[in-house]
Structure 1
């Protein structure tokens, strides 16, 4: 089969796969979540096997441990988070109004003389419009994710189906990998295996490492803000840690929200306001210099801009399901593009007919002369 026919076949397969994702996106969430859970827990199950357990007992032990930890955290944290979320939603208009008043007052007191004719109400209206547009955009994004992930409505199906799917996939993981390996085209099996290994290293290095980074940062932010006495500190800290999965999003949002709440709550005392600001500065320093290099590393090959684009694009197309598959899809595309670029740099299309010698370059004798 010629290269052109092979490319056509694989493009058709990719198109059919994307079409199936789009058509069945409303029912895929429990299955995608179960697959992601099995992928994350497979190294733990392999570790239990190395301790002498058989695969069945290792799978049951890993899933039971995960379910116990999940429900333990659910019972401990979710009621408090729900209470703080309701309180934050009720107090948000008051916080925004207070911040507007402080900004307008400060600007009117400290404006230069040549701006004495400036009307503070214009600034207040601008802030109100900006906040309104931001809230509208966030609301549309949440609504899009909700509409695109209709399986979220049926939480019972998610809770019941996901562990079952994860169990079967985790139990048969190694056999499935071996089976799929047997389907590879024999002429390209080594190349496909290398690409699959690179994709797996990229996804596992980022996802598993970033989950640990998010948990550590979430706990640090939540405890620090709660000890500071900041209103809704637990909610703000945990959400900031969770959103750290998206580069710079968690820290930026947490910094803005916590500083805004601190200004309204503690004004005019600068110490707690500075501490709320400093907590996120310390968190970003620890993340960038300690957590990211040690837990995620630099070999994942996922540029922050490319990752943010993939999350937004897949989220808008497939809802919450799209956000689950955005990272592996972004990693796969990145690995394939790098492979294609490497092939191009070693091809006659790049090197020319000379097979590596740049056409038109002077030889050694001419350059010496």
Structure 2
């Protein structure tokens, strides 16, 4: 016998409160497990493809782990040290960049700097970046954790990701066996929609970030820009937020190019052309190919979710913001669809259905079909 709607709402409300409380109270504790689960979810399609090629789940997971270890070693030995060095150099160069900007404005727009507020702001900006930049960089790199926590995080996340990837299909089957039988088909349908949204956005957007970040970094370094790796990494990482990565990365790259190559307009044009080409490829080929049109997450809803969960629950909140936003969006669309086909919306006039609308009636959760009210009465009679 199906549970009354009020009891179901009570149970789901309790589950939501437990989830929020766990994020608030155990945020730092569950962070490695959230990260490991996210990595396993991201890599599960690759493991499935390797299985289709004839490998076992264990062998597929081992191959992925080996590739990940090689990538981690390369990043640790080559990319990360260079990135940290460029970040330090950029912070130290900030006063010179501001002075160069001030000199340019003095030469081109002398009346502008007559305003003492603008002048004082420019004078203090570079020194403030230099004074606070080192502290900020240290905070970002340490993530406000002790050395022991960092080591534990680095060790635990790969282990969690490995075992979750190895047992992913079994865990999904186990959870499916716990679903309430009366509502299992509906929950599975909602879960498939959520997976479709997450697959389209998370996996697609992370891949877009990696592709664009690598392209910008390599191209800018090949063009001779001093901080090409840093600018490319920033632009690639911020591509996760629509338009922000291109705007901030383009401003940084062109600004540094003007400082480094002033007078060499061909070189400056090459740097600007790199970002123009990157945006052209992203909008016309990379994003449509990797993400398609079935993402289902509006940029404003995404930005709000990241801001809200990041403020409430810190870094772990930002990690779960996108999945939670996807769940809320899919469930909201499902409830709206149920409302539009229900008696509350249609009322007495629902007996004559507008063209294109599904007839009112009951949803068969096994087949997904809609049984009209007349057919239901005939069957019951």
Q: TM-score, normalised by structure 2?
A: 0.83
Flag the 1:8–1:148 CA change in 2: closer, same or farther, 3 A. Answer: farther
Shift of 1:150: 4.1
- Kept after mapping to 1: 8 A contact 2:88/2:134: no
Residue 175 of structure 2: SS of its match in structure 1?
helix
Residue 9 of structure 2: SS of its match in structure 1?
helix
Residue 27 of structure 2: SS of its match in structure 1?
coil
Q: State whether structure 2 residue 68 is matched by structure 1 residue 73.
A: no
Shift of 1:52: 2.4
User: In the alignment, which of 40, 43, 52 is matched to residue 42 of structure 2?
Assistant: 40
Aligned CA-pair RMSD: 3.1
Q: Distance in 1 between matches of 2:146 and 2:335?
A: 37
Q: Which residue of structure 1 lines up, in the alignment, with residue 53 of structure 2?
A: 51
Q: Which residue of structure 1 lines up, in the alignment, with residue 359 of structure 2?
A: none
Q: Which residue of structure 2 lines up, in the alignment, with residue 204 of structure 1?
A: 199
- Kept after mapping to 2: 8 A contact 1:242/1:250: yes
- Kept after mapping to 1: 8 A contact 2:36/2:158: yes
- Kept after mapping to 1: 8 A contact 2:95/2:125: no
1:164-198 C-alpha deviation (Å, 9 max, x unpaired): 11122112111111111111111111111011111
1:126-169 C-alpha deviation (Å, 9 max, x unpaired): 55688899999999999998898748872211121112111221
- Higher relative contact order (Cα pairs below 8 Å, separated by 6+ residues): 1
Q: Distance in 1 between matches of 2:14 and 2:142?
A: 28
Q: Which residue of structure 2 lines up, in the alignment, with residue 313 of structure 1?
A: 308
Residue 350 of structure 2: SS of its match in structure 1?
coil
Q: Distance in 1 between matches of 2:292 and 2:150?
A: 35
Flag the 1:37–1:322 CA change in 2: closer, same or farther, 3 A. Answer: same
Q: Which residue of structure 1 lines up, in the alignment, with residue 377 of structure 2?
A: none
1:224-273 C-alpha deviation (Å, 9 max, x unpaired): 21122212111111221122112122111111111221222222443333
Q: Which residue of structure 2 lines up, in the alignment, with residue 363 of structure 1?
A: none
- Kept after mapping to 1: 8 A contact 2:261/2:268: yes
Q: How many residue pairs align between the two structures?
A: 352
- Kept after mapping to 2: 8 A contact 1:104/1:123: no
- Kept after mapping to 1: 8 A contact 2:91/2:130: no
Q: State whether structure 2 residue 342 is matched by structure 1 residue 340.
A: no
Q: Which residue of structure 2 lines up, in the alignment, with residue 221 of structure 1?
A: 216
- Kept after mapping to 2: 8 A contact 1:88/1:232: yes
Q: Which residue of structure 1 lines up, in the alignment, with residue 13 of structure 2?
A: 11
Residue 154 of structure 1: SS of its match in structure 2?
helix
Q: Which residue of structure 1 lines up, in the alignment, with residue 171 of structure 2?
A: 176
